[in-house]
Amino acid sequence: MIIGAMNNPHKKLIEELMLFGEMNFDYAEITIEHPHARPEFIEKNKKDILDALSTYNLGIVTHLPWYFSLANPYERIEKATHTEFISAFRIAALLGAKKITLHTETLSPSIQSRESHVDGTIRSLKTLHKEAMNMGLDLLIENLDSKSFSVREFTRLFSEVDMGMTFDVGHANTAKGEGLETYLKHFAPRIRHVHLHDNMGQTDDHLPLGAGKIDVEKTVAALKEKYDGTITLEVHSEDRHYLEYSRQRLDILWHGKKKHLEDQNYLQPSRKE
């Protein structure tokens, strides 16, 4: 298991990467979106971004804008969305990323029926998955809640598109989520990336670990039985010390306090006079 953090696109990307490096994260999950991490900005500043990643020995995974719907009743809008996603694919590949995540955002039922949303999402993913593979990227679909895409609908999706999942623990724990155990039961072999954060059990609060109602110890133990890979802490507190605390908390729960302290001593050796 390796631990990462996601940049806030409203903050300067290179400063975010330096912050994650100083906090001893293993990798950065770069969300390629407006305003400070748009594809054209990343391309223009590629050297400085790669230098920051190299300086702190940070790996990289990537994320697409969460607010674009994969399915739209207007064909030209759907094609334009695909164009933006493919532009982001190119940037992710340029940085050397191997994983890239997108959401299953839905439009209001007054605009688009559920059937149209599901059919359109699967149709789009068939196209986008091939485009991503051609660029050496593993395109992963992230769960939101049953309002967006249910477990049953994910089962249909995976029967038609052979792709992986980014499992968001916080999303599964919201009022319309379908629970950690349900996702692990149905999709554990599909999970290739994880987002972890806490909430109060109703909405997507993105709290530090232990600040909400998720049983963090139980959750980490359940994940550890089924998964051993990248875990991004999506903690959206303005005080970034909570992000660093969450990294330490996850590391201790996963590896044990003794191993955590040994690693800390290696990263920050004591100086003898």
Q: What is the mean pLDDT of residues 22-32?
A: 97
Quick: pLDDT tens for 33-75.
999 999 999 999 999 999 999 999 999 999 999 999 999 999 9
Q: How confident is the model at residue 272 (pLDDT cuts 50, 70, 90)?
A: very low
Question: What pLDDT sits at residue 265?
Answer: 62
Question: What pLDDT sits at residue 251?
Answer: 97
Question: What pLDDT sits at residue 242?
Answer: 97
pTM of the model: 0.94
- Distance CA(146)–CA(262), nearest Å, equals 42
Question: What pLDDT sits at residue 260?
Answer: 61
Question: What pLDDT sits at residue 213?
Answer: 97
Q: How confident is the model at residue 109 (pLDDT cuts 50, 70, 90)?
A: confident
Identify the CATH assignment for 2-267 out of 3.20.20.150, 2.40.110.10, 2.30.30.280, 1.20.1250.20. 3.20.20.150
Q: How far is CA 69 from each of CA 118, 147, 177, rounded to the nearest angstrom?
A: 11, 14, 19
Mean pLDDT of the chain: 94
Quick: pLDDT tens for 133-182.
999 999 999 999 999 999 999 999 999 999 999 999 999 999 999 999 99
Alpha helices per DSSP H over 4-150: 13-22, 39-44, 46-55, 75-95, 114-134
Is the pLDDT higher at 104 or at 48? 48
Q: Is the pLDDT of residue 254 over 70?
A: yes
Domains in the chain: boundaries: 2-267
- 186-204 in b/e form (b: 16+ CB < 10 A) is bbeebbbbbbbbbbeeeeb
Question: What pLDDT sits at residue 258?
Answer: 73
Which residue type is seen at 106?
T
Q: Is the pLDDT of residue 107 over 80?
A: yes
- Distance CA(104)–CA(67), nearest Å, equals 9
Quick: pLDDT tens for 67-103.
999 999 999 999 999 999 999 999 999 999 999 999 9
